[in-house]
Every structure is written in C-alpha cells, then in structure tokens.
A and B are shown apart, each in its own frame.
Chain A
Amino acid sequence: MKFDTVIMGGGLAGMVAGIALQQAGKNTAIVSMGQNALHFFSGTFESLQAPSERLAELFSAAGIRVHYREGVRLMPLGTFKEAALSLDDIDLFPTPKFGRRVLIVNFLGYHDFFSSFLAEGLEKQGMECRIRFLSLPELDNAKAHGEMRSVQIARSMDRIWEKVAQEIRLLLKDEDTVILPQVFGLLDDTIPGRIRQAIPARVVFAGTMPPSIPGVRTQMQLRRRYELLGGTFLMGDQAIRAHEHDGVVHSIATHNLDAHYLEARNFILATGGLYSKGLVSNPFKITEPILDLDIDQPQDRNEWYNPTFAGDQPYMGYGVKTDEHLHAVKDGVAMQNVYAIGSILGNTRPNLGSGAGLAIRSAFAAVDEILRSTSEQSEI
C-alpha cells in the first residue's frame, strides 16, 4: 500500500503530524501499537509557553477546546505547577491560593482520587478544606465488582451529572470553591462547563489516576478528525521492520500486515520513549527497535541512573539522534526521509511535564520539513 507519509506511532505527536499532513492534502497512514500517553494526559501543554495559534486551530477543527492564560494549575496531590496552554477542563489560577474555603467532593468507593492529599496541600496555601463523599446508587454495582475507574464513573456521569450537581448544591455551606475529580465530559465536553454553571461556587476539576478523562476524549477526537480527513489509522498494529536502500527507507513491515508492506516517500517515527517501547533496553544498551537508530547514551551503565530514586534520572533524557531538520541519524548519517518526533527524542521528563509540548512542536516541525522538501522536489 502506498502513502505520501507513513507515521509510526499514534500518540499525540503522531496524530498531530497526521492531521497536519492530511490537511495539507497528503495521503498518510498511522501505525499505532495500542493506545498512547494521552491516557495519562494532564490536560496542560506545559512546555508550550507561548500561545500557539496553529495548535489552537488544529484542535478546534477537531472539536477540542483549549485556552491560554499564564498561571498555575492544581496537581492531583495538592501541589501547584506553572501552566499556560490547557484544555478547557483545566483551571488556571494567577496564584496558588485560589479560594478561601474549599469543599472537596469524592464518590464513595472511588480510590483513584486523592482528596486528603489535596486538602493537605491546599491547607498549606491557607485554604480551609472540607471533604465529603457522595454515595450514588448508580455506582454501587461498579463498586461491588471492583472495577471502579475514572472511565466507568465518567460514563455514568455523562448521564447523571445534573443529579450530582444537585447533591453538591445540598452539601455546599459557606465554601467559595468546590473541587471534583476529573470524571466529567468523556463523550460530551460541554458537561464540565454546565456543572460549573449549575453550582453556586467556583468549580475546579482535579486530576485522577489514569485513564485521564480529558486525555481519552482528546485521543478520540483527534483520531476521528484524522479519519474524517481521509487518514488511514492502523490501530493495534506495530511497525516491526524498515526496508532501506542507500540510507533511504522505502517501506516498512508491520505485525498485522506481514508481507504487505507500507510504502511511502517519507516516514515519521513517533513511537515514544522507553515507556511506550519506542526505545527498548537490555542490561548493556538502549536501542531503537525498528531502524536501529543512533542513541545518545553513555557507554557506562552506571551513568544511566541517579541513585536518588526520586531525583532526575539521566536515562529519561536518552533519545534518538537527529540533525537540525529532525532527520533521524543512523550510523552517524542523517536519513533524509525519516523524521523523529515526540518522546523518542528523549528529554521528556515527567518532572518537567514536557511530553505534550515536545510532541506538538516536533510534529509541526517535521511536517513543515516534509512539506518543504516535497514542494522543492516537485519544483525540480
């Protein structure tokens, strides 16, 4: 099967690149081994400090609403982090002390939302907190049978959010702020806004354990947009081998399509870091499994780690080497039709929260390179 560009990896980076290329009239495929890091998405693009018109346009065409405001956001354990560009689900505050009295509401039996940690963190900022649990018969069954995750609650909330808002109004005393777990608006993203209107206090949604509801919704919207633009999304498939000749890749083999190769003029590698298996490791070295690209890593294994577990871990910074056009480097030579984007570049560190920003910026940069190089080729 022939394409203009084949993208390996269907996370944020791969989907943004795919959508941007489809919008530019290119014919692309995305090969995605299962779901992606958007399921752990905080909802904020931390390292994108400047308002990105281009991102806002691409997202808004997919029905994803973002806003930009410099400030801080509330983290799931009651701490704060600087943030600017965010999904509309996320509140951004000028300072960490965003209220005086706070009512934290959780659902009885839901263990993936940390109300006491939140309260402790907010009390440090000088806010008074009260925690209350709502017991809802709609959630009883999930409770009894054990799997009560954000998505199961969110499915119920899409139906019963009005009743929940009513219950919260009854719980509310003199608090100026209500904090709720981020389990609203899985399919209908207007629900968080409607809850904000239905409760006579400021409503803040705080993150839960994965799956992230705003993240799951974002991935569904991006995939739908990509498919409506005519892109071919091969979900659950995995690029296993690339066929190259003189430093140019002409096709890849995938697990599901075996002998049926995907041919293209350009390839984008967006398979993620160690966590997503875009990079794999053994006791001696870290490798990139599809093309065996060059990796920036010290020889001495002892340098991979920081003995302080919670400290900055060097291995998280390792990624594939590229030239300044994001061409991936193999055996010291930049491959002219292979671009590396997203976490596989390394340097996405959870403590910086820079994954989403890097994914988007590198995706746009690679797309621009591809469009520029193809327009040059057609001029010749």
Chain B
Amino acid sequence: MKLQEYTTSAHNFEECMKCTVCTAYCPVLQVNPLYPGPKQAGPDGERLRLKDPYFFNYALKYCLNCKRCEVACPSGVKVADLIQSARIKYDTHPPKLRDQILASTDFMGTLARPFAPIVNAVTDLGVTKKVLDFSLDIDHRRTFPKYSGRSFESWLKRRSKEQAAFPEQVAYFHGCYVNYNYPQLGKDLVKVLNALGVGVQLLDKEKCCGIAMITNGMAREAAKHATHNVEVLGKAVSQGLKVVTTSSTCALTIRDEYPELLKVDNSAVRDSLLMATRFIYEKLEQGATLRFKSGYHKKIAYHTPCHLEKLGWGVFSERLLRMIPGVEFTLLPSSCCGISGTYGFKKENYEASQAIGQPLFDQIKTIHPDVVACDCETCKWQIEMSTGYPVLNPISILAEALE
C-alpha cells in the first residue's frame, strides 16, 4: 500500500485526531493566556495556513519549542515542528536587534571572551541590567552566563598530542557554552573519557548548532551553520569516529531540527552523534570500567531537560548517576524549567518563564539535594538562579566521583 506513504502530510499533521492531549502538557498554555496552545498553533492552524497565510498568528512566538507536545502526542504528530516551521515560513518581520544578539551565541562569545573579566563584571551590575532591559527588552531580573577568559578549544588544542595517544578516539561537539562560558564541563568530559581509554578530538571548526537562530527568526543563518556542521561532522564520521556532545539541545538540533526545520540533510552523520552519557553508558555495558572514589557521597536530584526527553535519552544520564557509589538519587518529575534557551531572557517572557518553572523549583526545594544534575546549560542557569541550588552536568558529577 503505497497510497499512505504518498499522502503523508508535512510533519504528520493530518494524523491529529483532535484529542487535545497536547494542551494538557504545554507549559506555556498553563501560564500565558495569549498563547493559543499547541493544538491550535500546530495542526489546527496548519490546516488554515495552507489555505491562506493570512491565518498565520504572531502569537506562535510564545511557543517555547520544548517539544513536550510531541512527546505527549499519541498519534506521532510533530506539533512543535509544525509551529516552528510556520514561524520560519510565514513570519516576515525581520528579527529585532535583541533577538539577533541573543541568537548569535558564538559570535557574542568570540567578542566577549578576550574581555571576559570586564564583561562578566559589567553584566552583573544592576545598572547594566537596567540599560539592557530598557534598550533591548532583555529582562533585568536575569542572571547572565559568565564568559571564560580561555576557550575550551584552545585548552584542548594544547593537549591534542596527549589525546591522540589514546587507543580509541572520539570527536567532541562542545557547543558554544562549553567553549566560551564553561570550559570546565569539556575538561570533565575529557577526564571521564580518558579514564575509559578514549581520547578526545575537536571537530574541524564547529559552529553554533543554530537553535537560538531557529527560534529567533534567523532560519537562513541557522541553515548555513547546519550545512557547515554536517560537513565537519561528516569528516569525523568518515574517519570512523563517533561524535559526542554534552548539550542535549545541540544534540536534538543537529539530529532532528536540521532535517525537519532547516531541510538540511544530515543522514550521513545523524546516527553517529550521541550524547556523551549514552556513549559512556554503552562503553560500560560493553565491559569497560570506571574506578570511583571511596567515601564519595552526594544527594542528587536529576532533572531531565525537555530536549533530552524528546531524544528519549534521559535514561542514560539517570543510569550513570545511579551507578556511582555513594549517590543518593531522586528523579525529578518530568516538567519544564521555563527558560528554554533565549526565551526566558526576553522581557515579555520573564514572568511566564518563572511561572512555568515554579513546580520544578518547589520540588527541588522539597528534596533539598546537594546538587541538581541536568544535561542542559540553560536549565542550569534557570535552576541556579531560581532555587539557589548548584546544578552540574552528569558528566561533571562522574568526573568528580572518579578516583
């Protein structure tokens, strides 16, 4: 029966049977009444937009792109992809200066890095926040991520010989956050992989995965990044390397958003890009071992980032953390922290962002862990700012617990 194959609709929207289940799990719909919700914004709206682009609704910008609607959909409709595709296709407004700044994470990183101490001090000042709020609509209540004086790339380049000596090799898509803001996470990954006998290589000049561009009306720029990244990943894959990443959003973007939203073919590299936690878990399952410190003790609450939940790979992080001797583990109930990348930085989204995260913040406070574990950098900023509890990537916790 070829008929059904030929009639598959874009992002499966015709599979929608109007059950409204997605509306129960959309975090935005619960707090922002201006948002029409995933069913109306997605498959219902698509039916109208196909008739006439006039029906495009600018309120679609309130979508977080958390993908919870897709995870909840029992019919396999790509609800969030429908919404983001509609924004790419029909939103004719050029992105605001603020959105361009927020979206250009690697460009801003390159600019800020040489002056990191100054930039960090200045963005921490109340007056700077007021100015940014007033001039750019970046909410003054936000804490900004800090920049690092030295990039991860330069740190690893100095160690390339030493890394090349390991019998097995892997390439690392570190992403903007590890490179410009928090190289420690990359160093932690190198430590854990080295302990498994695996050396870490850089890709041949990766670019930002582009997710912030996709959600900020810069799809064309994002597609350029995507094409570039698929090419450099391809080089590594053709050498027989797996590519790992520590950011769940980078992983989701490269694996799923490139073909679905940007129409960039990634089929040659898709299966070779893995979350580092999955790579490590699989190594251990194949018989590799890690030696942990004795006397290590940590009470850990694990938050599965929305994009990792969409990938379906939270289980690897969870299992690795549970494996560490001395870890008291609690899985936090599945829920969005509210930041969703650049979304929560925007003045118009601040209140909604905090309201979405509130149930998660309350849960964390009830559990009162030593540390919250999470594979997403923006969840980390949000949870640290809103609860005061430190947040670490599971890879950093593994590194800390190693002998």
Contact = CB atoms under 8 A, between A and B. Distances in A.
A binds B: yes
Interface of A: 1, 33-36, 39-40, 141-142, 144-147, 149, 151-152, 155, 209-211, 216, 220, 224, 227, 232, 234-238, 254-260, 276-277, 282-283
Interface string B267-288: 0000100000010001001000
B39 interface: yes
Contacts of A255: 312
B20 A149 contact: yes
Contacts, number: 100
Contacts of B232: none
B46 interface: no
A147 B1 CA distance: 37
Contacts of A224: 333
A147 B72 contact: no
A236 B23 contact: no
A152 B39 CA distance: 13
A259 B270 CA distance: 12
A256 B36 contact: no
B30 A152 contact: yes
A147 B313 contact: no
B37 interface: yes
Contacts of A146: 36-37, 40
Interface residues of B, number: 40
Given A149-B20, A227-B331, A232-B315, A260 B309 contact: no
A283 B25 contact: no
B74 A259 contact: no
B81 interface: no
17 contacts: A33-B74, A34-B72, A34-B76, A142-B33, A147-B37, A149-B23, A151-B24, A152-B29, A210-B20, A227-B333, A234-B312, A234-B315, A236-B71, A236-B72, A256-B311, A259-B271, A260-B282
A237 B29 contact: no
A255 B310 CA distance: 11
Contact of B278 (A39, A238, A260): A260
Most chain B beta-carbon contacts within 10 A, residue among A236, A276, A282, A283: A236
Given A146-B36, A260-B282, A236 B271 contact: no
Contacts of A144: 33
Interface in B1-23: 1, 4, 19-21, 23
Given A39-B19, A145-B59, A211-B20, A276 B30 contact: no
B73 interface: yes
B321 to A, nearest CB: 13
A56 B198 CA distance: 52
A302 B278 CA distance: 50
Contacts of B271: 258-259
B1 A145 contact: no
Most chain B beta-carbon contacts within 10 A, residue among A40, A151, A224, A258: A151
A145 B23 contact: no
